Structure 1
Amino acid sequence: MRRIYHRFPQSIDLDFELNRPFLEVLACIARMHDTHTTTRGADGLVKERMLIQIADGRTQFLDLNDLAPLTENVAEAADFRIDLQRTLLTPEKKLPVKENVFFLRIVDKGAVTECYIAKEGRLGDLDAMDLRTMLKGACE
């Protein structure tokens, strides 16, 4: 089943191909969902978390956990909303630092998967190339 969001941005920031079959890329994306890393920055510990949603009913997004297993519920093409959150961890509290939101469309092209990335808004310090690097790293 195709899972396409009808308001996917018309202007794409980056398009590229992953040398992996569609179902393998879906599995990579599912593994990336709700993961986090903690790094030491200039201000202290920074937690980076990735939340992924998939298009549902052409008008909204659904958490990936609500559509398991992903490889049995998606075919041909899928749109994702990827939220990359950064939080500064202090002894007193957690302070949100940055939030980067991207739309990702993947399309089955046989032995390769075509990917389209569009950033939502201008906020945040990451761009489409950063998301491409994360995807390639997770899938290879």
Structure 2
Amino acid sequence: MNSTVTCEMHVRLILSSETSLPVPASLRYDTADPYAVHAAFHTGGEDTVDWVFARESLAEGLHRPAGIGDVQVWPSRSHGLDVVCIALTGAEGEALLHAPAKALEAFLKRTDAAVEPGAEHDHLDVDQELSRFLAES
């Protein structure tokens, strides 16, 4: 049986060393897609920017630099608070976000309770994934 873990938080979009904007973010983890965390960043009105992160990279990024390619994650401090920096690079540009480390860690602990790290393969439906992959080709 599939289950979903969700979390609402505010991240900060870093515009410069002195300027940042709060951005509401919705994180979703679905045991049917056990390696991924889906994030929707609410940019105003009905608009969202959606990203998919490797759950393992987010968890590792709480303690040390992680990620490859268009997503880089690392721990830091901002205004005396522990944050996780998330650097995103895409066709439309780049963004640097600061996520509150405690909120992200609490969310990831809940995902670990849903699917223990290292046991993700036990939750994959290989036939469904193969069908989805072939439909996208």
TM-score (norm 1): 0.31
Higher fraction of helix:
2
TM-score (norm 2): 0.32
